Amino acid sequence: MTSLRILRPDDWHLHVRDGAQLASVVPFTARQFARAIIMPNLKPPVTTVAMAAAYRDRILAALPAGSRFEPLMTLYLTDTTAPQEIRAAQASGFIFGAKLYPAGATTHSDAGVTAIEKIYPALEAMAECGLVFQVHGEVTDGEVDVFDRERVFIDRILTKVVERFKSLRIVFEHVTTREAVQFVQGARRGVAATITPQHLLLNRNAIFQGGIRPHNYCLPVLKREHDRQALIEAATAEDARFFLGTDSAPHARHSKETCCGSAGIFSAHAAIELYAEAFERAGRLDRLQAFASERGADFYGLPRNSDHIVLERAAWSPPAAYPFDKDELVPFRAGEQLAWRMIEERRA
Ligand code: DOR
Ligand code: ZN
């Protein structure tokens, strides 16, 4: 196959930061995707409807002229998120979920949730009004191995929440393990998962390839090859529970290439191309549209997009760096070859 035309995709998990950094990165996503679920882990975090409205305005203002990209906003759950705030979020029309960051789990999670019981009133309200619960599924207990944190989260927390709040719609974000795939496959209706391009393309060897590779470090950290294979099988199966969420997470080069580097991989510059590569290797390019453009919209209860994008088989290399406010950021697969390239659909 040398060219592939699919319905325009959406990104169901994205970090675009704020201020001048936002202006540097959001055009990459707006070029490929119609919509994206915008993560709320700013400093300070987006904890109220008013903050989400203001952030949405800043995103819209940062878009290239003529862009029709639509940011789908989320709230950042804290120990004190009030059920009224949840109901106001659902009523807003522009907020589509609320995100659990276990305190200390990842970038800007220090204001996150310290014990799951603290958000039971918020979850109750979400289950009632239909706001989607987005989960960073890792425990933070220092005694749990970093490679086991997702698996232990399923056993200690997620199983309990899925059972207790039977009508709560849950997205287990950026799943990375075979156990997470199996959990979602066996879960009740209303439980789904997003999968990133890096977790489909790489295993944890990529963090240590000939030396330490900070640009392949994200959270949840890359896992074993058998986990990667389980993710490929899930993404390419005829299973509506698994859909696209890049978790593209830009950091300035100096905060990655340092003695305590930040977690996050920037993939927005080549997101759909990276997924196309993973699906092609699995011999399942025919399922890319379902994964990228159908299942997420269906899960969130939004219409699928009606316009298309075209991917061409044409080798290209992402540059060594892109501008990022006054800094630069190193994109995923910088300087390496990619097999596919998105082109604007030629209009007749
Ligand atoms: O690698 C990550 N980066 N994982 C997260 O959960 C957060 C993200 C970020 O915001 O940089
Ligand atoms: Zn994320």
Ligand 1 site residues (CB inside 6 A) read 15, 41, 106-107, 136, 218-219, 249, 263-264
Considering every ligand atom shown, identify the ligand nearest to the alpha carbon of residue 246 and give its number: 2
pLDDT averaged over the chain? 97
pLDDT at position 109 is 87
Number of the ligand 1 atom closest to the C-alpha atom of 136 = 6
Q: Is the pLDDT reported for residue 347 higher than 80?
A: no
With cut-offs at 50, 70 and 90, classify the pLDDT of residue 105: confident
For a pLDDT cut of 70, what percent of the chain falls above it? 99
Residues 189 and 167: their CA atoms lie apart, in Å, by 9
State in Å: Cα 136 to ligand 2 middle: 8
Strands (E), the chain: 3-7, 11-14, 35-38, 70-76, 95-100, 132-135, 170-172, 191-195, 242-244, 308-316, 322-324, 327-329, 338-343
- Range from 35-44, 98-107, 296-305 carrying the lowest mean pLDDT: 98-107
Pocket test residue of 13, 15, 176, 223 for ligand 1, highest count of atoms within 8 A of CB: 15
Give the model confidence (pLDDT) of 144-162 as tens digits: 999 999 999 999 999 999 9
Closest CA to 29 of 221, 250, 231: 250
> Given 247, 298, 307, 327, which residue is catalytic?
247
- Range from 47-51, 102-106, 245-249, 338-342 carrying the lowest mean pLDDT: 102-106
Give the model confidence (pLDDT) of 219-264 as tens digits: 999 999 999 999 999 999 999 999 999 999 999 999 999 999 999 9
CB-CB neighbours of 7 under 10 Å? 18
Contact between residue 172 and residue 192 where contact means Cβ atoms under 8 Å apart: yes
State in Å: Cα 195 to ligand 1 middle: 14
β-strand pairing of 3-7 with 308-316: antiparallel
Closest CA to 126 of 174, 68, 166, 181: 166
| CB contact set of 267 (below 8 Å; sequence gap of 6+) | 196, 197, 198, 246, 247, 248, 274, 331, 332
Q: What is the second-level CATH architecture of the domain 3-346?
A: Alpha-Beta Barrel (3.20)
Residues 217 and 333: their CA atoms lie apart, in Å, by 13
What are the residue ranges spanned by the domains of the chain?
A: 3-346
Q: Is 286 a catalytic residue?
A: no
Closest CA to 129 of 78, 176, 165, 175: 165
| CB contact set of 312 (below 8 Å; sequence gap of 6+) | 2, 3, 4, 340, 341, 342, 343
Its pTM stands at 0.98
Considering every ligand atom shown, identify the ligand nearest to the alpha carbon of residue 220 and give its number: 1
State in Å: Cα 265 to ligand 2 middle: 10
Give the model confidence (pLDDT) of 43-70 as tens digits: 999 999 999 999 999 999 999 999 999 9
State in Å: Cα 3 to ligand 1 middle: 32
pLDDT at position 95 is 98
Chain center to CA of 160: 23
Closest CA to 239 of 287, 176, 276: 287
Nearest CA to ligand 1 atom 7: 107
State in Å: Cα 130 to ligand 1 middle: 26
Number of the ligand 1 atom closest to the C-alpha atom of 251 = 11
Q: Is the pLDDT reported for residue 348 higher than 90?
A: no
Q: Would you call 167 helix, strand, or coil by DSSP?
A: coil
Give the model confidence (pLDDT) of 252-309 as tens digits: 999 999 999 999 999 999 999 999 999 999 999 999 999 999 999 999 999 999 999 9
Q: Is the pLDDT reported for residue 345 higher than 90?
A: no
Give the model confidence (pLDDT) of 164-202 as tens digits: 999 999 999 999 999 999 999 999 999 999 999 999 999
Residues 11 and 136: their CA atoms lie apart, in Å, by 16
With cut-offs at 50, 70 and 90, classify the pLDDT of residue 322: very high
